[in-house]
Structure 1
Amino acid sequence: MEQPDPTVRLKLPEQDLPHLTLGAAQPKKLEQWVESLPIMNMGETARQLYKFIQELNRLQIDSKLRFQLLEVVRPSILQVSESLQKHYLNQSLVLPEKARRVASLAQALQGHLANGYKLVAVRGIRKIKDKAVRRAVAIAVHRAVTALGDTLLRCYQLYLPSPSNLWLELHQLFLLAQQHGISGIAVLDGEVESSIESAYARCLLLATAKPNQLRQQELAGIYKAAFAWAPLIEISTASDEDDLFVFDLQADRPPIYRTHASQASQSWRYIDSSRLVEAIAGWLAASDESTLIVPKSLDERLLNHLQQVWGALTERAFKRMPESGEVELCFGLVGVHYFLSNKVAFETIVARGSLSMLRSEDESNPFLANIKKSTKQKQQNADPWATAYQSHYADEAIEMNVKTGGQRKETPLPVSYHCQKVNVSPGGYCLSWQGNTPSLMRTGELLALRDCPDSDWSVAVVRWVTQLPNYGARFGVELLAPGGRPVAARALRKLGVDSDYMRGVILSELAATGQPATLLLPTVGFNEGMKVELLEGEELRRVQLLRSIQSVSGFNQYPFKDLATPAPINPSEEDDALDFIWSSL
């Protein structure tokens, strides 16, 4: 039976170069050239590899030799691409010019690598019945899909649109492998063995994980785990009631929800992710009994997100309406706390509250009051005579660097920003940002915003971010509450020292939705069931955290119940408070 034409809609570079200007066209000599690259000078190494891979794709040689040369140079290209990540990951959303160019270089390196392997695959198809050629073609398609997958991951990590034709190339490579019966052949890549279908499926999984709602490290973790998870999804030509996503092999588009698709054609494929969702649910219920491979980098919150997006269609709760105008906003728990406190520094809030409590306990004994405070801090900065002397230096705090003796730089105060509204709904905003973005503008981050300087702050969370070429960045925020009360919170421990005070925000009860009052706290230092001491103004209260209702990268949200107010310190405790100074007298 005549094979269908596998080259349809695969874009290939033209071979118009008779010889190379660097490197070598013999595998052994190329190995020597690769070993001689100045790996300590990453810029020069990247430059030479970039030029070489471009020339190799244009070189007039047979497919067997091309494949051998690609296999020699590929590890170095992957190593350089990984090394370049530090220049563009974990930075602001809108990258500086240098970082943007480095990211473009990494994309170009792997794009040219994919082109080289596509050449091998398409030229080798003519001799696919040959066992050695069949194996080489399978490896080449797998390498090309992997390179395009790495490119896709980088786009999602930078919240950028995927390059033109990337999805069409992925679809066509998969179709090529299916047509010639090689999509299931196992290919060893480093220490991991997988098939072309698995390499392709992890691209589909990444695209359907709502990547604009995830952070860079989370996307990398999903991409890594998806190799092991890929066999749990099924790609079929016929629609089934369990199919959640659909895609067109002849279109340059990622998968979409089946309910959002138009009338299907023969080139459409359907994704059934029900087995994977069941496996994730089983792992969340009893991880010790589950056979699902879950990297340590994927926490329970992220797995819950994946279970939701791969398990059911989530529709927007409110209709969006276009709206223009400016909003003021601040980012992060530190920034939100600062502006909700009317720009009072957190240290000042804690100090005022502590002094107020000390005065109420014993205003007539500043020495004892200071000792009580020091005992609770377990002698941190303990100085029983600190309040005995009053001078014009009393309110001046000078921090010194212990190692150098120099004056420590003051921590910069949080700042607010302004951006434009694109559309609004009762549940949140879509906002537009021009120019450089702050580092805290990222998914899962807490923020506060208001329409004008005289209005109150509303508390919200960043749900998704994206970049639009020539239009800056856009991000969606979900409103959590129309306001918030800043508090200082510390974890109370049965054994050992209580934690230091940390920032927290109380959100009032939302009667309309049935949500009780909740407490926003840092992701580290607090857990459900923990008893927490809250300092609000000059009032002290104790609460117990209930099961978290929201856990995102920037904060945790806990309902809580009030506990009995702590009793005043009794005389015996005052004696204990003095014990630690006897040896120092």
Structure 2
Amino acid sequence: MNPLPLHFPELTRDQLNCCETRLEAVEQWLQHLPLAHPPASAEKLNTLLQEFNQLRLLPPRRLEWLDKIAPVAVHTLGELDQGPHLHQEGELSQQLQEQLAQSYKRCINDLLALRDQLPTPILARSLLASLHAALLHGGALILRACKLSVAAPEYSWPELNLLYHIASQSRLQHKKIQQQQPNTCEAAYLQVVLLGLIQAETLRPDELQQLWPLLASWAALVQILPADAPERLFQVVTNNGWQPQRSQPLEQQPTERDLGLNTLALTSQLSEHLQQGNDPLGNRLIQHLLACLGEPQERSSPRVASSGDIQLALGLRSVHYHLNNRQPFETLIAGQNFKVNTQNNPFIKEDQPDPWASAPDAVENKSIGTLAIIELDTEVSTSVENALDRRYPIHQLQLVNTSATGYCLLWPGQAPPQLRTGELIALQERTGTPWQPGMIRWIRDVKEGQQLGIERLGGRLQPCAIKPVIKIGPPADYLPGFLLPELKVLGVPASVITPLLPFKEGQKVEVSSKPQGVQRARLAELLSSPGEFQQFSLENIGHDDLRSFGLIS
């Protein structure tokens, strides 16, 4: 039984399977990990920690073992987070990080259960180390969920709040444990609380990575108050599952775990940085933070004059092309035409002898099952790419001003006819940086050309092909679209962006994407229809599951 409402496994083991149950043996095992191959190391560490978390050990001894295991696991997590297949490796990272968090939560639970039997100095030192580490790993789970749209445990916010409450009750929340930020339990908790307040779903992964260490250093500027304090701007309360939110009237008497927050000191400092200019964060990101963390205003996104060039892709198909790594839309649907059922086909079953093996040209056949390898002429391939680049050009525009929610841009000279309000666009601040999706809110003529009001769109847009499921008549053609993964930890549902026609609420659709393949879903609710595209929430139908899209946990 777990005395505390924390998630970790029961103690059922007296020894490990992967090595001898001695610290020296574990150290030797760690030295032989394939660190040059992070996914393999992560799998092995995951297995070790699963067994370790069920091992019967006294908490000081468990912490001693963790002092050896955790640095190797954290190093492996850092390597995975920089890997080429971020979503796939992100899920593996989440599993390993959750195992680490469970290790420290088990220490906290057992330390408190034995608090009357342990010397006070050992109890305080061990509890502080365990609480700080559990808060760090719990926060890292939410950060990775926001960056990569992978799942974080549903109990993340309640457990983080409970861990901070234990630290406060033990008067350990302000005790420094290290030089590097976050250096206290309170800083570690407020770092992830601030992440929950800045609309992380609207920020790019590189922006979140840039902000994460700063949020820890800004924790000292956040004032923690009673949940019903009139000067609170935000609250962390029971009826919202302890997820941070802007202050609202309380529906019930606050509990001892409920908190109020005031961020005026932080926003005052951010405003000074904005006025000084040349901050590494940039004007737009600082404005975004001010809008999220400041007092609510009628216009929460003041404009700041800006200059410089910015690149723009115009229209749903063009945005699709560039977000799909300059691959034509057809690449998302061509693969399904070559799927062949080999189960009952004797001519292409791999374990059958080939009756044509002795043919004169058989030596040259480089068949890989259902489709032979075709060597493409490089010049032809390049000409196709050039044609697609001409069809979906990148336009150079000029910055006029920025705000937390978007940009004002100048399109110099004559604009193309497809430039219209409600159109989907993508922006790139510098060549090589990620594309940021957006939408044209307004257009006005000026002497130099046209000015555009651009609203930034949140979420990670995953290019897909989508078509309605038609029961009677010929099948519909696929059209370009975008999947937006669910961010359950921030309350953001899974959704899809489609062209205006022929999609509507309640319709069953077939979605083809990489690497998930073809799945079916229902367009549940129309979330927005700004003019030239629509956004619907998605729901499961039949045996298909949004998990197969990589959209939900």
TM-score normalised by L of structure 2: 0.56
Amino acid at match of 1:413: D
Give the whole-Å Cα distance in 1 for the aligned partners of 2:140 and 2:120.
Answer: 30
Q: 1:554-573 maps to which residues of 2 (within 5 A)?
A: none
Q: Structure 1 residue 194: deviation in Å?
A: 0.7
Q: Structure 1 residue 214: deviation in Å?
A: 0.9
Give the whole-Å Cα distance in 1 for the aligned partners of 2:202 and 2:289.
Answer: 11
Whether the aligned pair in 2 keeps the contact of 1:245 and 1:256 (CA below 8 Å) is: yes
Amino acid at match of 1:79: H
Q: 1:374-393 maps to which residues of 2 (within 5 A)?
A: none
Amino acid at match of 1:107: Q
Q: Does 1:149 align with 2:139?
A: yes
Aligned residue in 1 for 2:199? 210
- Out of 58, 63, 81, the residue aligned to residue 62 of structure 1 is 58
Aligned residue in 2 for 1:520? none
- 1:279-317 per-position Cα deviation (integer Å, ceiling 9, x unaligned): 1112223379xxxxx7x4x22221121122111236799
Aligned residue in 2 for 1:413? 389
- 1:241-264 per-position Cα deviation (integer Å, ceiling 9, x unaligned): 431111125863411111365344
Q: 1:446-485 maps to which residues of 2 (within 5 A)?
A: 446-447=438-439, 460-465=454-459, 467-468=485-486, 472-474=494-496
- Unaligned stretches of 5+ in structure 1? 1-5, 89-97, 289-293, 318-331, 344-399, 417-427, 432-439, 450-457, 478-585
Whether the aligned pair in 1 keeps the contact of 2:4 and 2:109 (CA below 8 Å) is: no
Q: 1:239-250 maps to which residues of 2 (within 5 A)?
A: 239-248=228-237
Q: Structure 1 residue 265: deviation in Å?
A: 1.6
Amino acid at match of 1:26: R
- Out of 32, 37, 42, the residue aligned to residue 36 of structure 1 is 32
Amino acid at match of 2:269: A
Amino acid at match of 1:172: L
Change in Cα spacing, 1:215 to 1:173, as seen in structure 2 (3 Å) is same
Give the whole-Å Cα distance in 2 for the aligned partners of 1:463 and 1:8.
Answer: 40
- Unaligned stretches of 5+ in structure 2? 301-309, 322-376, 393-420, 425-431, 442-451, 460-483, 500-553
Whether the aligned pair in 1 keeps the contact of 2:182 and 2:216 (CA below 8 Å) is: no
Give the whole-Å Cα distance in 2 for the aligned partners of 1:316 and 1:16.
Answer: 57
Give the whole-Å Cα distance in 1 for the aligned partners of 2:290 and 2:224.
Answer: 18
Amino acid at match of 2:98: G
Give the whole-Å Cα distance in 1 for the aligned partners of 2:208 and 2:497.
Answer: 18
Q: Structure 1 residue 62: deviation in Å?
A: 1.2
Aligned residue in 2 for 1:136? 126
Q: Does 1:286 align with 2:304?
A: no
- Out of 257, 279, 300, the residue aligned to residue 283 of structure 2 is 300
Whether the aligned pair in 2 keeps the contact of 1:16 and 1:58 (CA below 8 Å) is: yes
Q: Structure 1 residue 31: deviation in Å?
A: 2.3
Aligned residue in 1 for 2:295? 312
Give the whole-Å Cα distance in 2 for the aligned partners of 1:12 and 1:124.
Answer: 14
Residue range with higher mean Cα deviation, 32-41 or 267-276: 32-41
Amino acid at match of 2:261: I
Amino acid at match of 1:313: P
Q: Structure 1 residue 41: deviation in Å?
A: 2.2
Aligned residue in 1 for 2:437? 445
Whether the aligned pair in 1 keeps the contact of 2:224 and 2:260 (CA below 8 Å) is: yes
Change in Cα spacing, 1:459 to 1:231, as seen in structure 2 (3 Å) is closer
- 1:550-581 per-position Cα deviation (integer Å, ceiling 9, x unaligned): xxxxxxxxxxxxxxxxxxxxxxxxxxxxxxxx
Change in Cα spacing, 1:339 to 1:247, as seen in structure 2 (3 Å) is closer
Give the whole-Å Cα distance in 2 for the aligned partners of 1:193 and 1:305.
Answer: 23
Amino acid at match of 1:463: L
- 1:80-132 per-position Cα deviation (integer Å, ceiling 9, x unaligned): 112112347xxxxxxxxx75442211111111100000111121123376212
Whether the aligned pair in 1 keeps the contact of 2:439 and 2:457 (CA below 8 Å) is: no
Percentage of identical aligned residues? 20
Aligned residue in 1 for 2:406? none
Q: Structure 1 residue 409: deviation in Å?
A: 6.4
Aligned residue in 1 for 2:176? 186
Give the whole-Å Cα distance in 2 for the aligned partners of 1:101 and 1:339.
Answer: 27
Amino acid at match of 1:163: P
- 1:336-394 per-position Cα deviation (integer Å, ceiling 9, x unaligned): 18989xx9xxxxxxxxxxxxxxxxxxxxxxxxxxxxxxxxxxxxxxxxxxxxxxxxxxx
Matched position secondary structure for 2:53: helix
Aligned residue in 2 for 1:10? 6
Aligned residue in 2 for 1:197? 186
Aligned residue in 2 for 1:508? none
Matched position secondary structure for 1:194: coil
Give the whole-Å Cα distance in 2 for the aligned partners of 1:278 and 1:272.
Answer: 12
Q: Which has the larger radius of gyration?
A: 1
Whether the aligned pair in 1 keeps the contact of 2:132 and 2:184 (CA below 8 Å) is: yes
Root mean square deviation, CA, Å? 4.1
Change in Cα spacing, 1:410 to 1:251, as seen in structure 2 (3 Å) is closer
Whether the aligned pair in 1 keeps the contact of 2:182 and 2:217 (CA below 8 Å) is: no
Matched position secondary structure for 2:77: helix
TM-score normalised by L of structure 1: 0.53
Give the whole-Å Cα distance in 2 for the aligned partners of 1:251 and 1:447.
Answer: 31
Q: Does 1:273 align with 2:248?
A: no
Change in Cα spacing, 1:430 to 1:232, as seen in structure 2 (3 Å) is farther
Paired residues, number: 355
Q: Structure 1 residue 461: deviation in Å?
A: 3.6
Whether the aligned pair in 2 keeps the contact of 1:430 and 1:476 (CA below 8 Å) is: no
